[in-house]
Structures are given as structure tokens and as C-alpha cells.
Structure 1
């Protein structure tokens, strides 16, 4: 991954995996001085839950950032039925993904979403706060 930052994690397919994946992605973006829309948490949880449903023992989560965009890719490491693909893609777009997709390869199912990432807006003790919509907090 030349010319971009990246990170990856392997997690067991346990009930806690979607929350852990979302936490890992958010924390790594903050380490890079970036944040994404508050819906990023839901996007990562949806991607993770989708590949967990494939029934494997582990999943992989990959994060990369380039030019203000964060790519989150989740792999199931198992072949899976992609019957719910249209619903998943609509859900990801509704959560703010600029682009998203599903692919099945010899390595298993890959689901991904591309989300805008912004420089952190920090105030005092806050490590990195997501950008707020206009009029927020009034």
C-alpha cells in the first residue's frame, strides 16, 4: 500500500467483534489525525456482522486512507451466499458510504465501504471529535 496509510486486524467471529472492529477503526483514524462521520461506527459494525454471518472462525478488517477517504474492507475467509447483497449495499449507502461493494473470491467474501475522512476537530482534552453538522448543539 504505497502512498497511503493502512492497518489491519484479525478477529474471532464472536459477538463482540463488530464493536471491537468499530473501535479499532475509529481509534486508528484518530491516531492518524482523522475522523469520519458518526455513522462510520454503524458502517463498520454492518460490514463486520455481514462477514461473521458467513460462518467462519475468523474475520479480517483492513483500513486504508488516502486523499481524505477511508476504505474499510472486511473479509470472511469463507465462500458465502450473497443473496442479501442489494440490501447490504443500500444500507451502506444510507449510512453515508460514498462507494461500497461485495466480492467473492477464492479467499472468501469481501465487503467494503469508502467513507469521507476529515482532519480532527479537537478542543482541549478531546482526542479527536467527529465533525458536527451545521446547527448542532443549538
Structure 2
């Protein structure tokens, strides 16, 4: 994420031979996620992926098969 946030957290979870990767960037007032990000993540082999932006930061997530 190229949003200049100083606090980023990474969360991982697995179930049924898949892994969920969630990245949280704690930078208030971010604009919506660049529309090129999700197709680029999907091209890396993600089963599904998404992004959202709230007042307290941005969240990107992807599910990958193991």
C-alpha cells in the first residue's frame, strides 16, 4: 500500500487449504483504493480479493489457495 501510513498490520488465517491475508493501514482520510490494485492482486493468483476505506484507514484482503 502506497499511502504513507506509519502503522500497518498484517493478519493471516487459514482454513480448508486456503489462506486469508488482510493488510490494514492506519492512515486517516485516505482516498478510495486505486482501481488497478485489485486486478493486480487477482493476477497473482488470488481466489478472491477486496478493498475498502474507512475514516481510520484502508483494508486490503485476498484469499489464496495453498
Shorter-normalised TM range:
0.7 to 0.9
Alpha-carbon distance between aligned partners in 1 of 2:33 and 2:50, rounded to the nearest angstrom: 14
Residue 81 of structure 1 is matched in structure 2 by 31
Greater share of helix: 1
1:102 to 46, 51, 56: 51
TM-score by length of 1: 0.44
Name which structure has the greater RCO, CA cutoff 8 Å, separation 6+: 2
Greater share of strand: 2
Instruction: Give me the CA root mean square deviation.
Output: 1.3
Unpaired runs of at least 5, structure 1:
1-49, 118-138
The alignment status of 1:64 with 2:16, answered yes or no, reads no
Unpaired runs of at least 5, structure 2:
none
Checking the alignment, whether the CA contact within 8 Å between 2:33 and 2:53 is kept in structure 1 is: no
Q: Which of structure 1's runs of 4+ aligned residues deviate more than 3 A?
A: none
Q: Deviations over 1:46-70 (max 9, x none)?
A: xxxx1xx221212000000011110
TM-score by length of 2: 0.86
Equivalent residues, number: 65
